[in-house]
């Protein structure tokens, strides 16, 4: 895949949090502490381990407090930890903006400020161009998603706290607690309102990026997240030109939802969205909701038509979607995916030139947005076309 897979286009947003189990703790003799250290060189602390309910799986808190400016902890299974050496070996030679860049520094185009009713937020300190990198952060605490359901709360909290306390700068994480967080444990509260879905290898984890965490939600955002798999870095890109003094926002939830869906999805974060789309006059919200519902229906209809072997209908519907996305400011977020759909339909119809044209268009958008490295050449287009061949059968 080469450079094309460098960034993930999958949506990352503060997690709709997993439920930490709050059942009774296991009997004491089911707890197994400090096993042998698999590879001492990776970790600066003796791993602390606990077993899952039923004692079938072991999870440990591993820390390398020297990694990056804050240190790095992962709460995960031993085999996943062993595979994570590549992340630790990656040199972090970037200039690191302070987590509490309240004055604004020359290097960073943002500063952290108090925003009435929203806690701390991030504000641009100069004009930022579309697609420019606004912020670069690094995963500081990672937690295997299964850990949160498989280990009892009593033991789970103990590992989570060890993971945070062993960092070089625990306060960078502990300061993220939200006053409106409803979890009964401080670190759980922080994870619930700040973590991002983050794959470690191919194991689903949640991760804290303490600086990116300070960015508030916007339903009509001016920024978006770009994840780099190899380094566990999270980059924030400008979705459009941003003026000096503007608050930086990204959407915590998928784009394209109606107002009721947005409110429901945002509930775990404990605030009511007050962005321009959510606070518009009632008739405008109703009109936007109607357009979004229509888009969702068109999307469903296009998929059904394609799967039912009616490619011409899928083609017509996908074109309608693409024509309607700009009206709701959604071309940026959903355009690449729709162009790929269009390419796929043309591929199935055996129309080589059109298929290639739209693959190129979809990939071009990804490069422009900073998800992939460019330029888009023959090889990159070929990779997508062979994926189509695999999934749809060879058509030409
Ligand atoms: C990831 S944190 C964002 C940074 C946070 N404001 C802080 O002080 O650290 C998420 C929390 O910020 C607050 N928040 C985020 N977006 C908001 C918004 N649009 N309006 C009000 N509160 C918001 C909520 O308390 C939410 O649980």
Q: What is the pLDDT of residues 354-365, one digit of tens each?
A: 999 999 999 999
| 381 touches 363 (CB < 8 A) | yes
State whether the beta carbon of 268 lies less than 6 angstroms from ligand 1: no
Integer Cα distance of 281 and 262 in angstroms: 17
pLDDT at 41: 67
Tokens 């040199």 -> residue: 91
Integer Cα distance of 222 and 47 in angstroms: 41
The residue that leads in pLDDT, 219 or 33, is 219
What value does the mean pLDDT of the chain take?
85
pLDDT at 396: 86
Residue nearest to atom 27 of ligand 1 (CA): 269
Integer Cα distance of 334 and 322 in angstroms: 9
Residue nearest to atom 4 of ligand 1 (CA): 214
State whether the beta carbon of 214 lies less than 6 angstroms from ligand 1: yes
Distance, CA 274 to ligand 1 centroid (Å)? 11
Asked if pLDDT for residue 191 goes beyond 50, the answer is yes
Cα 46 to its chain centre, rounded Å, is: 30
Distance, CA 35 to ligand 1 centroid (Å)? 39
pLDDT at 89: 72
Using CB atoms within 10 Å of the CB of residue 195, give its burial: 0 to 12 exposed, 13 to 18 middle, 19+ buried. buried
For a substitution probing ligand 1, which of 118, 209, 215 has the most ligand atoms within 8 Å of its CB?
Answer: 118
Mapped onto helix, strand or coil, the DSSP state of residue 389 is helix
Beta bridge partners of 196: 14, 207
pLDDT at 11: 33
Beta bridge partners of 5: none
Asked if pLDDT for residue 13 goes beyond 80, the answer is no
ipTM exceeding cut-off 0.90 for this assembly: yes
- pLDDT tens-digit series, residues 116-132: 999 999 999 999 999 99
State whether the beta carbon of 176 lies less than 6 angstroms from ligand 1: yes
Integer Cα distance of 350 and 361 in angstroms: 18
State whether the beta carbon of 121 lies less than 6 angstroms from ligand 1: yes
| 214 touches 122 (CB < 8 A) | yes
> What domains, with CATH codes, occur in the chain?
2-250 (2.170.270.10), 282-392 (1.25.40.10)
pLDDT-based confidence at residue 265 (cuts at 50, 70, 90): confident
State whether the beta carbon of 277 lies less than 6 angstroms from ligand 1: no
* Alpha helices by DSSP H, 141-253: 147-150, 153-165, 170-174, 186-194
pLDDT at 332: 87
State whether the beta carbon of 84 lies less than 6 angstroms from ligand 1: no
Distance, CA 226 to ligand 1 centroid (Å)? 20
Residue nearest to atom 15 of ligand 1 (CA): 216
- DSSP state at residue 207: E
Distance, CA 216 to ligand 1 centroid (Å)? 5
Q: Calculate the CA dihedral of residues 35, 39, 45, 50 and round it to 10 degrees.
A: -30
Asked if pLDDT for residue 31 goes beyond 60, the answer is no
Q: H/E element holding 121?
A: strand 119-124
For a substitution probing ligand 1, which of 196, 249, 269 has the most ligand atoms within 8 Å of its CB?
Answer: 269
Tokens 């500081």 -> residue: 140
State whether the beta carbon of 205 lies less than 6 angstroms from ligand 1: no
State whether the beta carbon of 269 lies less than 6 angstroms from ligand 1: yes
pLDDT at 98: 66
> Which is the closest atom of ligand 1 to the Cα of 175?
9
Distance, CA 176 to ligand 1 centroid (Å)? 10
Which pair of structure tokens corresponds to residue 373? 């490295």
For a substitution probing ligand 1, which of 135, 178, 234 has the most ligand atoms within 8 Å of its CB?
Answer: 178
> Which is the closest atom of ligand 1 to the Cα of 218?
19
Integer Cα distance of 251 and 48 in angstroms: 35
pLDDT at 230: 79
Cα 340 to its chain centre, rounded Å, is: 21
pLDDT-based confidence at residue 372 (cuts at 50, 70, 90): confident
pLDDT-based confidence at residue 93 (cuts at 50, 70, 90): low
- pLDDT tens-digit series, residues 282-341: 999 999 999 999 999 999 999 999 999 999 999 999 999 999 999 999 988 889 999 999
pLDDT at 39: 44
Residue nearest to atom 7 of ligand 1 (CA): 120
Contacts of 142 (CB under 8 A, 6+ apart): 73, 74, 75, 76, 198, 200, 205, 206, 207, 208, 232
Contacts of 38 (CB under 8 A, 6+ apart): 47, 78, 81, 82
pLDDT at 295: 96
Mean pLDDT (whole number) for 107-122: 93
- pLDDT tens-digit series, residues 148-174: 888 888 899 999 999 999 999 999 999
State whether the beta carbon of 267 lies less than 6 angstroms from ligand 1: no
pLDDT at 260: 95
State whether the beta carbon of 192 lies less than 6 angstroms from ligand 1: no
For a substitution probing ligand 1, which of 116, 119, 263 has the most ligand atoms within 8 Å of its CB?
Answer: 119
State whether the beta carbon of 276 lies less than 6 angstroms from ligand 1: no
Distance, CA 169 to ligand 1 centroid (Å)? 22
For the chain, give the percent of residues with pLDDT over 90.
Answer: 58
- DSSP state at residue 41: G
Integer Cα distance of 332 and 313 in angstroms: 24
Integer Cα distance of 155 and 60 in angstroms: 11
| 20 touches 148 (CB < 8 A) | yes
Helix axes 311-324, 331-348, angle to 10 degrees: 160
Window from 24-38, 58-72, 110-124, 376-390 with minimum mean pLDDT: 24-38
């Amino acid at each position: 895949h080469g450079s094309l897979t460098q960034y993930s286009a999958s949506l990352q947003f503060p997690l709709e949090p997993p439920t930490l189990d709050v059942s009774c703790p296991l009997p004491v003799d089911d707890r197994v502490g400090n096993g042998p250290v698999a590879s001492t060189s990776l970790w600066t602390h003796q791993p602390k381990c606990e077993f899952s309910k039923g004692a079938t799986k072991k999870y440990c808190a591993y820390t390398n407090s020297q990694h990056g400016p804050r240190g790095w902890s992962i709460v995960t299974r031993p085999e996943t930890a062993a595979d994570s050496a590549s992340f630790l070996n990656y040199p972090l030679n970037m200039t690191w903006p302070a987590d509490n860049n309240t004055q604004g520094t020359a290097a960073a185009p943002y500063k952290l400020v108090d925003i009435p009713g929203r806690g701390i937020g991030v504000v641009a300190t100069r004009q930022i161009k579309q697609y420019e990198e606004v912020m670069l952060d690094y995963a500081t605490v990672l937690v295997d998603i299964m850990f949160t359901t498989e280990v009892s709360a009593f033991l789970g909290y103990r590992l989570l706290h060890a993971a945070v306390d062993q960092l070089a700068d625990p306060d960078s994480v502990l300061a993220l607690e939200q006053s409106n967080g409803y979890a009964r444990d401080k670190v759980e509260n922080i994870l619930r309102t700040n973590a991002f879905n983050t794959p470690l290898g191919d194991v689903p984890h949640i991760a804290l990026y303490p600086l990116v965490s300070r960015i508030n939600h916007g339903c009509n955002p001016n920024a978006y997240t770009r994840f780099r798999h190899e380094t566990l870095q999270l980059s924030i890109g400008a979705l459009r030109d941003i003026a000096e003094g503007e608050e930086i926002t990204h959407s915590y939830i998928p784009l394209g939802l109606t107002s009721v869906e947005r409110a429901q999805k945002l509930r775990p974060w404990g605030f009511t969205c007050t962005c321009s789309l959510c606070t518009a006059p009632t008739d405008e919200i109703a009109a936007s909701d109607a357009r979004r519902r229509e888009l969702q229906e068109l999307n469903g209809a296009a998929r059904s038509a394609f799967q039912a072997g009616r490619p011409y209908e899928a083609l017509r519907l996908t074109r309608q979607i693409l024509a309607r996305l700009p009206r709701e400011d959604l071309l940026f977020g959903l355009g690449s995916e729709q162009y790929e759909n269009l390419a796929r339909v043309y591929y199935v119809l055996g129309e080589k030139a059109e298929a290639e044209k739209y693959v190129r268009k979809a990939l071009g958008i990804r490069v422009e947005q900073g998800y992939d490295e460019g330029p888009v050449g023959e090889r990159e287009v070929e990779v997508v076309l062979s994926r189509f061949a695999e999934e749809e059968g060879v058509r030409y």
